[in-house]
């Protein structure tokens, strides 16, 4: 039977749903996607029982057509990429358990791909009783990309937290050691204790970047959390089994002395300082000293391992005295915080906040026409040397 679908729609559906398949394939059919056609729609499904992905696209076929088949997404994607046709015709042969993908208009050229009986596939149906909260897609995508900077590497599973929590307007991420990050936005106020495992973050970010909807539904259904769109995209994953610590909203707002500094200039001076470091870049302690008063203020950046100093001009606020405030932080933490901001040239920097526990950087910007405050927090738990 012939089934015609838009090639770009099919490519996008395959690209999204294949993210839910296991990376290590033990049974060959577990590396296939399931395609189901009926009522002028094609459902493309992929799952490994942890991740679940579904895309629904339009399809042209004979009235009353009902068909299900499988296909290797990597091979199908390679074939579709090499085609110039706007629409692609698929011919499913149930007896032969194969799919012909016609690569020209006349139907004289085709690629023949293996299929498996649908009963051999892992399948799922989105929970009809799921809850859905509409949020800005761009804001959610920005928050997840920001959060991943504060989680330990995927290969390192020995941390205490490694969970992203979004609750009551605050997105919170921590690696359980010496890095924490917040993003505060009104877009997240309707969400209550949404939890995501670290392995899900890059996948969900990629799915969000693959769709064009201005808003997405953040869904929760039983043991799953995920997203869905009006355009027919569904992606979810099992919630983390462990309970994260409560979101420490008391740390979001800062008081006391702070300074306004040019972010790009600060990063430039910081990198120039570290260029003189001769040891391993993994453990570089940077001491920041805020001095001066008003517009004549400065931040001295220095290394524990050398006598190099870079003086960054800034404008001190709230505290007009010239008393010095000092804080030490790892270079990678400081660079991560500063690099996470994408909006505005100026940032508000708290050198020594909450009794010396944190440095904080605030950046007001606009994502999807919504003002927000983004807060980077680095609590320094390890010191490169004493003092």
Which residue, 56, 68, 80, is CA-closest to 7? 80
pLDDT at 381: 32
Count of H-run helices and E-run strands, the chain: 6, 24
Q: From the CA atom positions of the chain, what is the Rg in Å?
A: 26
pLDDT given for residue 177 in this prediction: 58
Helical (H) or strand (E) element with 349: strand 346-353
Closest CA to 182 of 137, 249, 267: 249
Rounded CA separation 234/211 (Å): 11
Query: What are the backbone angles phi and psi of residue 71, rounded to the nearest 5°?
Result: -160, 145
| Domains identified in the chain and CATH numbers | 2-120 (3.10.150.10), 131-251 (3.10.150.10), 258-379 (3.70.10.10)
Alpha-carbon distance of 150 to 383, in angstroms, equals: 18
233-267 as b/e: b if 16+ CB within 10 A:
bbbbbbbbeeebeebeeebbebeebbbebbbeebe
Threshold 0.85, pTM exceeds: no
pLDDT of residue 353: 72
CB atoms within 10 A of CB 180: 21
> Above 60 in pLDDT, residue 2?
yes
Beta bridge partners of 77: none
The average pLDDT across 353-361 equals 73
Cβ–Cβ < 8 Å for 35, 69: yes
Candidates 303, 311, 310; CA nearest to 328 is 303
Helix axes of 201-210 and 137-147: crossing angle, nearest 10 degrees:
150
Contact 284, 330 (CB under 8 A): yes
**Helix (H/G/I), strand (E/B), else coil: 12:** helix
The predicted structure's pLDDT at residue 180: 73
Mean pLDDT of all residues in 335-339: 79
Q: Distance between CA 41 and CA 57 in Å, rounded?
A: 6
* pLDDT tens digits for range 244-289: 666 666 666 676 678 899 999 999 999 999 988 776 655 688 899 9
CA distances from 150 to 183, 205, 386 (A): 12, 15, 25
Given a contact cutoff of 8 angstroms between Cβ atoms, the answer to whether 333 and 178 are in contact is yes
């Amino acid at each position: 039977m012939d089934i015609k679908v838009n090639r770009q729609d099919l490519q996008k559906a395959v690209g999204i749903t294949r993210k839910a398949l296991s990376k290590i394939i033990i049974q060959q059919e577990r590396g296939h996607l399931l395609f189901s056609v009926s009522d002028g729609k094609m459902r493309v499904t992929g799952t490994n029982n942890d991740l679940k992905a579904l895309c629904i696209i339009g399809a042209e076929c004979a009235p009353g057509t009902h068909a299900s088949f499988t296909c290797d997404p990597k091979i199908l994607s390679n074939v579709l990429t090499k085609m110039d046709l706007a629409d692609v015709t698929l011919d499913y042969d149930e007896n032969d358990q194969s799919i012909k993908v016609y690569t020209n208009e006349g139907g004289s050229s085709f690629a023949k791909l293996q299929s498996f009986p649908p009963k051999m596939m892992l399948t799922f149906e989105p929970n009809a009783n799921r809850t859905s909260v509409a949020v800005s897609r761009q804001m959610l995508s920005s928050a997840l990309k920001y959060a991943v900077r504060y989680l330990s590497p995927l290969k390192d599973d020995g941390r205490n937290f490694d969970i992203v929590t979004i609750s009551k307007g605050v997105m919170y991420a921590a690696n359980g050691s010496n890095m924490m990050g917040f993003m505060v936005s009104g877009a997240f106020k309707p969400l209550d204790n949404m939890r995501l495992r670290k392995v899900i973050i890059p996948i969900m970010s990629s799915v969000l970047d693959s769709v064009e909807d201005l808003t997405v539904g953040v869904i929760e259904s039983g043991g799953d959390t995920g997203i869905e769109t009006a355009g027919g995209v569904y992606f979810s994953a099992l919630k983390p089994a462990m309970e994260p610590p409560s979101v420490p909203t008391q740390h979001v707002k800062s008081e006391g002395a702070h300074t306004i500094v040019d972010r790009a200039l600060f990063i430039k001076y910081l990198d120039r300082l570290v260029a003189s470091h001769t040891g391993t870049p993994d453990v570089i302690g940077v001491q920041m000293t805020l001095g001066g008063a008003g517009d004549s203020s400065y931040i001295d950046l220095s290394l524990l391992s050398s006598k190099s100093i870079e003086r960054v001009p800034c404008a001190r606020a709230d505290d007009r005295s010239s008393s010095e405030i000092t804080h030490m932080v790892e270079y990678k933490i400081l660079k991560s915080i500063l690099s996470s901001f994408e909006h505005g040239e100026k940032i508000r920097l708290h050198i020594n906040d909450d009794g010396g526990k944190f440095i904080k950087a605030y950046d007001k910007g606009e994502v999807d026409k919504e003002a927000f405050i983004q807060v980077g927090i680095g609590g320094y738990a390890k010191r490169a040397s004493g003092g």
